[in-house]
A and B are shown apart, each in its own frame.
Chain A
């Protein structure tokens, strides 16, 4: 008995000596050669997320739409989209002539609906075909846009009044043209009819046209449009673009009746939280662009909700536009540079050529990121961090999704962090089905161990009599169970999970070896 204690003490001393030697050489050197190093590196690289937006897919409850009307559409600009992060794309628009109902951009429509575009591979392919090739389930939207700038010596009010009252069958002409265009594109490029939607971007309707008759006329127009273009309302994709809520005397926001009556007719509402016509907004309200930017956006969503737009239908559109501000020394305030108040991200680089100091946005006051120039002028814009913050907060408000205005036009290239922000907030990395297949098999394998004991009396007796078989069986069962939990991601499928598995395996091997050698030692003492 004395000798046994002595030998055990000797064994412990030897083990501590070996351990100390390993630690004194440094654990790094242990993993510093060949395959061990590669394996260790591979394990340390296992992460929960991914830096590449291409690895993500969108969560099914959200919509992300790329908005590229014809005036923004550049050749091949749409080839830089991450189609895995888009549920839809507004490609092309019908620039409505309010006096006739015909398009003002007939040549452009002919261009977009013909085979004049070429993909990178050199094959002749239409834009719609290209989009479908990239994502078979993508929704395609055609946009009807009108900004009231028809001219011809008529006042805006008279033009819109004529349109709303269907003067000279303007509405019928529009609906007929759209129906034919839609039918041709759907047929020509073999697109499913349910995939092809319509967005109404009718702006600058004067606020004076809000009498009950005008409201009813507008509603009748929408009903007619929906009935003739989307006869089966199921799966219809009719949307409307609403202007920024801070614009003064706006048709959509004067009075509470209009939106409450027309919104139920639409499947989605795109809210443009920016304006290219800054003169339409008073100076105080303009400040929200610069300070407390997100807080005002939240207020906008609340206000829209009160006006009868449920967040579940609401898509907030973001433009890649920055604000060019100059310091007015007389009032010591930043005011918009009247010559060039809005700058696209594409032109931002030209501004940034001048010496500037970049100030990152502060998420607590939700302002925008600034370029501060030496002359006191500033350029405000959303960088990818503040975009991520805004997307995230809007998501928490329960909105349907976001729209990205001119993402191709602004050269928001693949691989940029702007796409990653979308992926992080609205996407997820899909699991591989193979994990669940093997997980299920391992689950049954794990069940096989207790099933042996339940089914076979021989196995029960042997395990009861020979305790030494208990450890390998228990070990096998633990390993199979671990594999099952690991494959199903119940034990996280990352570096920690792998180390837990290796730990269990190592512990089992040590226990089995220790048992073998201890029993040999004990046998030796007995002799």
Chain B
């Protein structure tokens, strides 16, 4: 148990954090769960239209949904950061902070 905990803290968490910054294990599991669930719909919709093996379609669907879920968060953070870092927004924010003081 101790070995697993050490492995988890020293290896698994840092590797995940390195690959997907800002992610937690909980969010990762949610993304994987969503990926699995939605790849069923992906498979049902896409398989009759393409000329690939069923398992390939399922894996690609899982990958697309899994990456997509993470992508949504990234995009949301990106848009928020861009908006918050606009010059006039920063100036307005600093004025508000000063007046509050």
A3 near B: Cβ within 8 Å? no
Q: Give the total of B residues in contact with A, Cβ under 8 Å.
A: 32
A356 near B: Cβ within 8 Å? no
Contact B50 A448 (CB under 8 A): no
Contact B83 A469 (CB under 8 A): yes
Binds B, one of A214-222, A341-349, A359-367, A437-445: A437-445
Q: Nearest chain A CB to B57's CB is how many angstroms away?
A: 7
Contact B67 A441 (CB under 8 A): yes
A/B pair count, beta carbons within 8 Å: 88
B3 near A: Cβ within 8 Å? no
Known: A456-B76, A459-B80. A432 touches B68 (CB 8 A): no
A431 near B: Cβ within 8 Å? yes
Contact A433 B84 (CB under 8 A): no
Which positions 119-142 of chain A face chain B at CB distance < 8 Å?
none
Which residue of B50, B56, B79 contacts A449 across the interface (Cβ within 8 Å)?
B79
The interface residues of chain B lying within 8 Å CB-to-CB of A444 are 65, 67-69, 71-72, 75
Q: Max chain A CB contacts within 10 Å: which of B45, B71, B88?
A: B71
The interface residues of chain A lying within 8 Å CB-to-CB of B79 are 448-449, 452, 459, 473
Contact A57 B76 (CB under 8 A): no
Which residue of B60, B68, B73 contacts A433 across the interface (Cβ within 8 Å)?
B60
Which positions 70-93 of chain B face chain A at CB distance < 8 Å?
71-76, 79-80, 83-84, 86, 88-89, 92
Give a binary string over A459-484; 1 marks a CB under 8 Å from any B CB, 0 the rest. 10011011001000100000000000
Known: A445-B75, A448-B76. A462 touches B83 (CB 8 A): yes
Contact B65 A440 (CB under 8 A): yes
Contact A462 B64 (CB under 8 A): no
Contact B72 A459 (CB under 8 A): no
B5 near A: Cβ within 8 Å? no
Contact B42 A440 (CB under 8 A): yes
Contact B67 A452 (CB under 8 A): no
Contact B49 A431 (CB under 8 A): yes
A458 near B: Cβ within 8 Å? yes
B100 near A: Cβ within 8 Å? no
Which residue of B63, B75, B76, B83 contacts A437 across the interface (Cβ within 8 Å)?
B63
Q: How far is the CA of A444 from the CA of B71 in the complex (A)?
A: 7
Q: Nearest chain A CB to B70's CB is how many angstroms away?
A: 9
Known: A437-B64, A459-B80. A451 touches B72 (CB 8 A): yes
Give a binary string over B28-71; 1 marks a CB under 8 Å from any A CB, 0 the rest. 00000000000000100110111110001100110111011101
Q: How far is the CA of A147 from the CA of B74 in the complex (A)?
A: 73
Known: A430-B51, A431-B50, A440-B61. A466 touches B75 (CB 8 A): no
Identity of the chain A residue whose Cβ is nearest the Cβ of B46 in the assembled complex: A436
The interface residues of chain A lying within 8 Å CB-to-CB of B46 are 431, 433, 436
Known: A451-B76, A459-B83. A440 touches B68 (CB 8 A): yes
Contact B60 A449 (CB under 8 A): no
Contact A433 B71 (CB under 8 A): no
Contact A441 B89 (CB under 8 A): no
Q: How far is the CA of A241 from the CA of B27 in the complex (A)?
A: 61
Q: How far is the CA of A52 from the CA of B51 in the complex (A)?
A: 17
The interface residues of chain A lying within 8 Å CB-to-CB of B57 are 433
A-B contact pairs, 7 of them (CB 8 A): A431-B49, A437-B60, A440-B64, A445-B71, A459-B83, A463-B83, A465-B92
Given contacts A445-B71, A459-B80, 12 further A-B contacts (CB under 8 A): A430-B51, A436-B45, A441-B68, A445-B75, A448-B79, A449-B75, A452-B79, A452-B80, A455-B80, A456-B76, A459-B79, A463-B83
Nearest 3 Cβ contacts at the A-B interface: A448-B75, A444-B68, A430-B51
Q: Which residues of B contact A (CB under 8 A)?
A: 42, 45-46, 48-52, 56-57, 60-61, 63-65, 67-69, 71-76, 79-80, 83-84, 86, 88-89, 92
